Amino acid sequence: MPVPLWFDYQVYMENKLEQMQTSRSDYSMDKLVAAFEKAGFSGEEGAFRHFQKWGHCEDVSPNALFDPEYYYQSKAFDYFQQKGLSEMQIRSDIETYSDSMRKAIADAGMDAWTHYIRYGTAEGIDPSETFSTNSYMNLKLDALQTSDPDHGWTRAEMLAAFAKAGLNALEHAVQYGTDAADPRNGECIFWQDSAHTVPVDVNNEPLLPDDEILPDDEENGQDSGDTWPYADDAFFIVGFEGKNVIFDDAADGTWIYTGNDVIDAEKSSTDSSDDDMCWAAACSNMLTWTGLSDFKDEDATMRYFVTHFDNQPMSFIDGMSGYFDLVNLDSSQYVDGYLLPEAEENIMNSVVWLLSSGYAVGMSVSEYYGTHALTVWGASWNDEAYTGIIVTDSDDQQVPDPTYAPNSLRLVPLSASVENGSFGEYIDYALAAYGRIDEIFYLGSSTEDADIEGA
């Protein structure tokens, strides 16, 4: 029996072992393999037959892109929102809604995998947080329409073709994804692989643009429209190695990606006690990323700031110092500091170096109504210049309870000019919709042995 590409023997056996260990903590991989062999399920082909007969019924995932628990939750969001519930209502009791969806699917004689096979692709249900069904199908439709414009492919026709071939989006992505979903088709996509990590030179230093000035859109014939205008950019997003991230047009001059894998503390939309604490949200993100927070995540860290600090503007240095004093963290445990654009020849070079070296990075920008704090997670660039910066913003998707706010990355276009400062010429950068970069703050754990002198 041929084993399909979407079945990952190693992942399946590890998932099966994890299931067995919930009731028998001493169960080992050797025992599992031996039990499979004794039951006639030897090797990769045997494990695949086991999945077909038993595994999918037990919600044991056959690959890293399918997460049964996540699928039940995704289906719950889709179903109950259609019934009129808000995302916040569902998220506030997601276990109950997810369990009810699990029961409904079981009552229909299916499990997570078989439901996804039969209905998931057509319904646009995500099988895991690392794979977006709708985004993938949009890319596939774009590719079909581009390669065969005379045919006039529609989404319904494409879905029918998938069904006829017995394929779902996930299976198709595993078998044909790199061709069918070219990351330069349609939307702006960060597709992380060996070609899209930070380029380095012979000294293992980041290989960055030669030219310091951002090219003008009109002069280069680039039209932003609803896609990222620089299709050939290199992208780097810290913490997203091995993942594909699809940015959607936010209709405000930026592009957005939302996912549970994003660290993004938010302010409340109704509680005014954190109105002037964007700096605290950025500090919370950086503390969480570096492992220096005393709390479980960025949202809990942000609540600590709100309850222990005044609601007023504050610099990164003062905010971090105040936090470390309160939690009694010795200064030998971390490294921090700040950089000014006018003191750097090209501050974006330093930003990428810091991120690729393991530091968390915060940024102060000048807006028309004052200064605002952001957390920096990456950048985009081509051979000539930096084209964008990737940030999280505590103001962009607020809800009454920040714990339930969506976590989102924003890809923001950069503009640049040469200015004269006290240290000579430097590149002055501004973010679309945000303003000029005033200051860069960095934070790192001293246990990582990071060396800031290389910046």
222 has a pLDDT exceeding 90? no
Phi and psi angles of residue 70, each rounded to the nearest 5 degrees, phi first: -65, -35
Among the residue ranges 118-122, 138-142, 198-202, the one predicted with the least confidence is: 198-202
d(CA 61, CA 45): 16
Q: Is 292 exposed, middle or buried (0-12, 13-18, 19+ CB in 10 A)?
A: buried
Q: Helix, strand, coil: what percent of the chain each, to 5?
A: 40, 20, 40
Q: What per-residue confidence (pLDDT) applies to 182?
A: 33
Mean pLDDT, the chain, rounded, equals 80
- What is the band of 133 on the pLDDT scale with cuts at 50, 70, 90? confident
Q: What per-residue confidence (pLDDT) applies to 215?
A: 33
DSSP code for 215: P
Q: What per-residue confidence (pLDDT) applies to 176?
A: 67
371 in Cβ contact with 364 (< 8 Å): yes
429 in Cβ contact with 418 (< 8 Å): no
Residues 283-305 have pLDDT tens digits of 999 999 999 998 989 999 999 99
Name which residue leads in pLDDT, 246 or 69.
Answer: 69
Q: How many CA atoms lie within 13 A of 349 on its CB side?
A: 20
> Percentage of the chain surpassing pLDDT 90?
35
Mean pLDDT of 30-43: 93
pTM over 0.95: no
Given the DSSP bridges, would you call strands 408-421 and 424-431 parallel, antiparallel or unpaired? antiparallel
197 has a pLDDT exceeding 50? no
Residues 393-441 have pLDDT tens digits of 998 877 888 888 889 999 888 888 888 766 677 888 888 878 899 999 9
349 in Cβ contact with 343 (< 8 Å): no
H helices of 117-216, in order, are 121-123, 133-147, 155-165, 169-180
- What is the band of 210 on the pLDDT scale with cuts at 50, 70, 90? very low
Q: Is 331 exposed, middle or buried (0-12, 13-18, 19+ CB in 10 A)?
A: exposed
Name which residue leads in pLDDT, 241 or 429.
Answer: 429
- What is the band of 181 on the pLDDT scale with cuts at 50, 70, 90? very low
Among the residue ranges 165-169, 213-217, 243-247, 447-451, the one predicted with the least confidence is: 213-217
d(CA 135, CA 116): 16
Among the residue ranges 56-65, 101-110, 215-224, 392-401, the one predicted with the least confidence is: 215-224
Residues 154-170 have pLDDT tens digits of 888 888 888 777 778 88
Residues 369-394 have pLDDT tens digits of 568 999 999 888 876 778 889 999 99
Q: Following CA atoms 226, 373, 267, 402 in sequence, which dihedral angle do they give, to the nearest 10 degrees?
A: 70
Name the helix (H) or strand (E) containing 437.
strand 435-445
Tokens of 227: 């896609």
CA–centroid distance for 433 within its chain:
21
406 in Cβ contact with 259 (< 8 Å): no
- What is the band of 55 on the pLDDT scale with cuts at 50, 70, 90? very high
DSSP code for 348: H
Among the residue ranges 203-212, 333-342, 350-359, 435-444, the one predicted with the least confidence is: 203-212
Q: Cβ contacts of residue 337 below 8 Å, gap of 6+?
A: 441, 442, 452
Q: What per-residue confidence (pLDDT) applies to 387?
A: 84
Q: How many CA atoms lie within 13 A of 295 on its CB side?
A: 19
Q: What per-residue confidence (pLDDT) applies to 130?
A: 75
Q: Cβ contacts of residue 351 below 8 Å, gap of 6+?
A: 361, 363, 376, 379, 389, 440
Given the DSSP bridges, would you call strands 408-421 and 255-258 parallel, antiparallel or unpaired? antiparallel
d(CA 390, CA 381): 11
Q: Is 205 exposed, middle or buried (0-12, 13-18, 19+ CB in 10 A)?
A: middle
275 in Cβ contact with 267 (< 8 Å): yes
Tokens of 32: 């599992």
209 has a pLDDT exceeding 60? no
194 has a pLDDT exceeding 60? no
Q: What per-residue confidence (pLDDT) applies to 170?
A: 85
- Other C-beta atoms closer than 10 Å to the C-beta of 308 total 12
Each domain of the chain, given as residue ranges in start order, spans 9-123, 133-180, 183-455
d(CA 434, CA 412): 9
d(CA 170, CA 185): 18
372 in Cβ contact with 355 (< 8 Å): no
Q: Cβ contacts of residue 61 below 8 Å, gap of 6+?
A: 11, 12, 15, 67, 68, 113
Tokens of 329: 């963290």
d(CA 305, CA 322): 10
Give CA angle at 402 (398, 405), nearest 5°: 60
Residue with structure tokens 């995704």?
74
Mean pLDDT of 13-21: 93
Q: What per-residue confidence (pLDDT) applies to 454?
A: 35
Mean pLDDT of 309-321: 92
Q: What per-residue confidence (pLDDT) applies to 417?
A: 84
